[in-house]
Amino acid sequence: MLFIIIHVNKDDIMDNDNNHFNNIYVQTKKLVGYKTIQQCTPLDYKNLGFKSGLEVHQQLYTDKKLFCRCPAGMYFPGEDYDAEVIRHMRPTLSELGEYDGTALMEFKTKKNITYRIKNPTTCTYEIDDTPPFPINQQALDIALEVALLLKTNVVGELHITRKQYLDGSIPTGFQRTAIVGIEGEIPLAEKKVRIIQLSLEEDACREVSDFRHQRIYTTDRLGMPLIETVTYPDLLTPQEVVEAGNYIRFMNRSTNKVRTGIGATRQDVNVSIRGGTRVEIKGVAHIKWFAELVHNEAFRQKSLLHISSQLKQRIKDIKKWDLTYQLIDPSLINPLPPSLKYYADSEIKWVAVNLPHFQDILAHFTQPGQVFGDELRGRLKVIACLELENLIHSQDRNELLATVDFSKIRQLLKSKSLDAQLLFWCPSQDLSTAVETIRERCMLAFHGVPNETRKALADGTTVFERVLPGPDRMYPDTDSAPLPIDEERINKVKNNLPPSIHYRYEQLNKWEISRHYWIYLLRHNLVPIIEKIIAFTNYSPKFLAGFFAQDLKHLEGRNSSSNFDYIHLISLFKFISKHNLSPEIAKIMLPVVFNNPNIELESVLTIIGYQKRNISDILSYIPDLRKKFKSIAKNKNINAERNWIMGNLKLLSIGNYPLDKLSEEVNRRVK
Amino acid sequence: MMNDIFKGYKGKALEILKKYNIRVWSEATIKTTRGDFKGIVLPRSENDDDLHIVLKLDNGYNIGIATNTIKQIKEFGYKEAHYKIPEKEFPTSEDKPNIKLFGTGGTIASRLDYRTGAVIPAFSPGELYGAVPELADICNLTTEKLFAVFSENMGPHQYKTLAVAIGEAISQGIEGIVIGHGTDTMHHTASALSFMVQNTPVPIVMVGSQRSSDRPSSDAALNLIHAVKTASESDIAEVLVCMFGPTSDEYGLLHRGTRVRKMHSSYRSTFRTIGDIPLAMVDRNKITPLQQNYNHRRKDTQVNILPYFEQKVSLIYYYPNMQPDIIDSLVDNGYRGIVIAGTGLGHVNKPLYPAIKRACQKNVAIYMTVQTLWGYTHMFVYDTGRDLMSNGVIPADNMLPEVAYIKLGWALGQTEDLDEVKKIMLTPVIDEITEREPYNGYLVFQGGVPEIEQFLKKIHK
């Protein structure tokens, strides 16, 4: 949730408890026609004019970074650093002579950017004190491979382009990026989704903190090679978005040349509805979050369109609309807001703002748990650097509303009955940006949905991150020469392409692998491992798939930082097959191998206490076990006896005799 | 001008463009063996090959199309880019000092030149105001573009022209001068101006940028703000170099023009005062003096302009096994002065002695400096030094090699009398030779040492 609950006196709530906020929220939610994702059918999305496209970022598995020779994939916590560098960003003209909107917004925020440097991961390139070195060829080959898998048209010459980012996430102020291929496609179950482009780019810094005018980054991730796959807005339901996201992710993994783990794959998703506009939701860590996020964004856009039509009905000439504001005395708010503590060293301004004709708009539903007033809050936080809680408005949640005397404010501002009011507080140097930010967002409301980049929250809603950048932020990189990509190079990559994910789907179907296992197997690119194992054994793909998707997954889940190389799985089954062991023994051997990948497999047998026995040895224990069971068991049921005996023989049998067969033998003898 | 519609294209690429009747800025669809591409045909950098055509796609990215894959090109529109740095009239007010900015070719605000891929400077006050509006809070700015050359192409002609232009501006009552300059040879120009413009009543501040101003993280804007602030408000009436102190956007340093040197090929904090400490620190709000002894700002408009330079002067960097024919060929080619950057305290090997002796006999002025950059020549310490002096080499104390080169050219430009030259060389104009080297005048920290690492964690280098 965006808002912090301010603790107020219970009696105050009682006095003010007219539930106005809730009424408007519920009413407008209904007017907009909000349904949950479970209630929505494909037809609902069609009626909304829902369209979505994906941008999937995937780190590549290379030894070194993209434009310098620092090691890739080495991370340190944000508090562990050797030195700091400070920079400010200033917008520059694009190649076509325009300033980019995002760039100007970021310039307004006037942030101090601090970069924390750890010597082993950072050289003078990352801090922009040396020009780029020639591009990492290993990374380019991987990018080419994915470009071919996506069936894109590969460019004749790679041109490094600078994409401006003034948020400071890259010390140069731009990301070096280059298009490798354009216009490809991926097959989903029901349709083909077109690909706009596949580009190769450097990863950005990791953010450590962002508070007021101070943002801190660490430079270890900066410069890591990354590919970005961009689809057309061909995805027409949240389910298709998830399907495409999975397909692209599996395809990247199928190369075996990409990184996995936290932050190695990051998705942005673009959403628009009819009459709305493209909004980008950034940094979605899990594909399963997609559905909820794009669903809610669709209804946020519908809500904003509803707000726009309401405002246009009320206001004759939107061009003449303006807010008015006045500095006021803090005595009108009680208790004082907790966020004041962030501005301890500054002179605070208290500002009352009148928004003509905005009655009930500020409490208008936008997303589950959020209202239009929160759109203002989000922009104030990002653009004017005002920490939350940063405003209270005249239709606010009761607990906030109760702290402000809005009747006095209405008098002061000479408000009319259809106006809305809000109160905010800020250090004096942020005042003009804050007023401008509120004015801008209110005026954007007349036109419906602003072009924005929004940050994904875990509850499926989003908050404002920045104005959506356009092509005006692109600029050729004058520090690097174009690089030809010839046929020979393309053919070399083409001859070693992994099978398509579509083919893998068919293969898994044919093997009758449970659908529950698919995601795990494809995400970890385990199908080629299964293929290799069944090539020299008669083990069933079904057994292997189940073994990986249960036992291996369980081990990995318990040790998420492990870097277990699946090549050891092949050696394991080679060993089992060579020694004529029953394959079930893998379940007991794997935990040992997983923790000591380079161990001699012979000694694993010793560790797990395996002894070679033939079936008659094993079965010869049965008479004694039966006697024992009779003496200790309370439940004399035959099945209980069989299970108990099976349990005792299982460990002796694993590796020596298949358990299902053993069970048959036991059943035959225990009657 | 026929070729202008094919900016930068040549050979096969040009043929293809002509064949399909396509020009630069055409919006075109290109059918190739690798698929179709659609975008605006961009000019090509002249130094790039003739095998590709550059296309700007809708999303702003550029790509190249190999000519041997092209099956067809069709133009469907035309969209020429017009670069314009937003130009706003530079506001003036009577209570702000009048500052003049001379341009030599460095980049402050800039745009891209498609032909060469290089950056073209924006320079008029209006353009500068559009790019760095903060300047208007500091001064009233006028600009004059003297040359448009890269810093490595600056030479005696430019030094002299610049000195004369500065003299004129001062006599007209300007209150401060800023010179935009490429960084590579900024310290050469700074020392030339230190000798050619003497007794200035106002600050003369040289400034440039290590990261071109076409990037958001450029040091250009902040350097310019610092330089303009220094020219407007500083009490130091000398030739100064104003560039980043640390690589962080924190403060600039004001270096004396005769003691400064570019010390890193790409770092922002590349300029260092050698053998002394800088004169002052400057940030957006204040100028903090570090030295007490400097020439103070005056109200008058008097200045001595001494625009002399002898071109036949050389600077040679000694290395073991240097052969005497290096010296001989300079002498035989009519050189009148040689500065040697010698090893250690000012040494060269014995085989050079006869060549040096011959040069001195032929009236060539030879001065010794140290390639260690820090420290003085001490030619009495070893026999080598004494031998060299007896052969006619004159030690130049702690004058930096590049400064000694500039000063010798300047001295020989004034007189042929070598005694007179010697007098000029060894009489400091403005600290090109200092009497003493302070303890903190030599600081090259060594990374990895624990106390230095602690320092680096706290202090922004």
**Which stretches of B116-269 are DSSP H helices?**
125-131, 156-171, 186-196, 220-233
Q: Give the model's pLDDT for residue B110.
A: 57
Does the CB of A183 have a partner CB in chain B at under 8 Å?
yes
A90 contacts in chain B (CB < 8 Å):
216, 218, 221
How would residue A92 be classed by pLDDT, with cut points 50, 70 and 90? low
Q: Give the model's pLDDT for residue B263.
A: 97
Q: Give the model's pLDDT for residue A113.
A: 92
Q: Give the model's pLDDT for residue A74.
A: 94
Query: DSSP characters for B246-276?
Result: SSSSS-EEEEETTTEEE--SS-TT-EEESSS
B84 contacts in chain A (CB < 8 Å):
97
Least Cα separation, residue B87 to chain A (angstroms): 12
Task: Say yes or no for a CB contact (<8 Å) between B461 and A83.
Answer: yes
Task: Say yes or no for a CB contact (<8 Å) between A157 and B221.
Answer: no
Q: What is the 3-state secondary structure (H, E, C) of A88-105?
A: CCCCCCCCCCCCCHHHHH
In angstroms, rounded to a whole number, what is the distance separating the alpha carbons of residues A565 and A571? 11
How would residue B59 be classed by pLDDT, with cut points 50, 70 and 90? confident
Residue of A82, A85, A93 to mutate when probing chain B, most B C-beta within 10 A: A93
Q: How far is CA B4 from CA A459, B30, B74, in A?
A: 57, 21, 20
Q: Give the model's pLDDT for residue A639.
A: 85
Task: Say yes or no for a CB contact (<8 Å) between B266 and A173.
Answer: no
How would residue A165 be classed by pLDDT, with cut points 50, 70 and 90? confident
Tens-place pLDDT, residues A596-617: 998 999 999 988 888 888 888 8
Indicate the DSSP class of residue A60: B
Which residue shows structure tokens 């209202």?
A371
Q: Give the model's pLDDT for residue A94.
A: 52
Residue pair B112/B71 in contact (Cβ under 8 Å)? The answer is no
pLDDT(B306) > 80: yes
- Spell out the long-range contacts of A603-610 with Cβ–Cβ below 8 A and sequence spacing 24 or more: A605/A655, A609/A651, A610/A585, A610/A654, A610/A655
The β-bridge relationship of strands B304-305 and B197-198 is: antiparallel
- The shortest CB-CB distance from A173 to any of B66, B112, B216 is to B216
- The shortest CB-CB distance from B247 to any of A82, A85, A473 is to A85
Q: Give the model's pLDDT for residue A107.
A: 64
Q: Give the model's pLDDT for residue A5.
A: 36
How would residue A660 be classed by pLDDT, with cut points 50, 70 and 90? confident
Least Cα separation, residue A219 to chain B (angstroms): 15
Q: Give the model's pLDDT for residue B7.
A: 83
Please give the mean pLDDT across all residues of chain A.
90
In angstroms, rounded to a whole number, what is the distance separating the alpha carbons of residues A323 and B444? 58
Least Cα separation, residue B262 to chain A (angstroms): 14
Active site residues of B: 107, 183-184, 262
Q: Give the model's pLDDT for residue A106.
A: 59
Determine phi and psi for B72, rounding to 5 degrees.
Answer: -165, 150
Q: Which of residues 483-512 of A touch B (CB under 8 A)?
A: 484, 486
Least Cα separation, residue A137 to chain B (angstroms): 18
How would residue A571 be classed by pLDDT, with cut points 50, 70 and 90? very high
Which whole number is the average pLDDT over A544-573?
90
- The shortest CB-CB distance from B266 to any of A99, A129, A473 is to A129
Q: What domains are there in chain B, each with its CATH number?
A: 2-78 (2.30.30.520), 98-305 (3.40.50.1170), 313-426 (3.40.50.40)
Tokens of A501: 């994910």
Q: Which residues contact B23 (CB under 8 A, 6 or more apart)?
A: B5, B6, B17, B41, B75, B78
Please name which of A654, A651, A639 lies closest in space to residue A581, comparing C-alpha atoms.
A654
ipTM entry: 0.89
Q: Give the model's pLDDT for residue B55.
A: 94
Q: Give the model's pLDDT for residue B26.
A: 93
Which whole number is the average pLDDT over A412-423?
95
Tokens of A153: 């048209």
**Which stretches of A204-281 are DSSP H helices?**
238-254
B119 contacts in chain A (CB < 8 Å):
478
Task: Say yes or no for a CB contact (<8 Å) between A161 and B61.
Answer: yes
Does the CB of A258 have a partner CB in chain B at under 8 Å?
no
High-pLDDT (> 90) share of chain B, %: 78
Least Cα separation, residue A159 to chain B (angstroms): 5
pLDDT(A643) > 90: no
- The shortest CB-CB distance from A157 to any of B66, B83, B112 is to B66
- Spell out the long-range contacts of A233-236 with Cβ–Cβ below 8 A and sequence spacing 24 or more: A233/A51, A233/A52, A233/A53, A233/A270, A233/A272, A233/A278, A234/A51, A234/A53, A234/A191, A234/A193, A234/A194, A235/A51, A235/A52, A235/A53, A235/A54, A235/A193, A236/A42, A236/A45, A236/A46, A236/A50, A236/A51, A236/A52
First-to-last C-alpha distance (Å) of chain B: 51
Look at B147 and B369; give whichever has higher pLDDT.
B369
- The shortest CB-CB distance from B34 to any of A87, A96, A153 is to A153
Task: Say yes or no for a CB contact (<8 Å) between B52 and A478.
Answer: no
Which whole number is the average pLDDT over A8-31?
67
Task: Say yes or no for a CB contact (<8 Å) between A156 and B63.
Answer: yes
Q: Give the model's pLDDT for residue B1.
A: 40
Characterise A361 by phi-psi region: left (phi > 0), alpha (psi -120 to 50), beta (else). Answer: alpha
In angstroms, rounded to a whole number, what is the distance separating the alpha carbons of residues B11 and A413? 71
Residue pair B149/B105 in contact (Cβ under 8 Å)? The answer is yes
Residue of B37, B79, B217 to mutate when probing chain A, most A C-beta within 10 A: B217
Look at B120 and A42; give whichever has higher pLDDT.
A42
Task: Say yes or no for a CB contact (<8 Å) between B217 and A179.
Answer: no
Minimal-distance CA residue of chain B relative to A230: B59
Q: Which of residues 131-170 of A touch B (CB under 8 A)?
A: 131, 152-159, 161-164, 166
Minimal-distance CA residue of chain B relative to A483: B64
B85 contacts in chain A (CB < 8 Å):
93
* Packing angle, helices A638-653 and A659-669, rounded to 10: 140
Q: How many CB pairs under 8 A join A and B?
A: 168
Minimal-distance CA residue of chain A relative to B84: A97
Q: Which of residues 75-94 of A touch B (CB under 8 A)?
A: 81-94
Residue pair A27/A217 in contact (Cβ under 8 Å)? The answer is no
Least Cα separation, residue A192 to chain B (angstroms): 18
pLDDT(A54) > 90: yes
- The shortest CB-CB distance from B453 to any of A82, A92, A131 is to A82
Which whole number is the average pLDDT over B210-223?
86
Which whole number is the average pLDDT over A452-481?
86
Position A88, amino acid: H
Which whole number is the average pLDDT over A239-254?
96
Task: Say yes or no for a CB contact (<8 Å) between B59 and A96.
Answer: no
Does the CB of A120 have a partner CB in chain B at under 8 Å?
no
Q: What domains are there in chain A, each with its CATH number?
A: 20-46+308-467 (3.30.1360.30), 51-272 (no CATH), 501-669 (no CATH)
Q: What is the largest CA-CA distance in chain B?
A: 80
Which whole number is the average pLDDT over A535-562?
90
Residue A84's SS3 state is strand
B8 contacts in chain A (CB < 8 Å):
none
In angstroms, rounded to a whole number, what is the distance separating the alpha carbons of residues B324 and B360? 14
Task: Say yes or no for a CB contact (<8 Å) between A84 and B37.
Answer: no
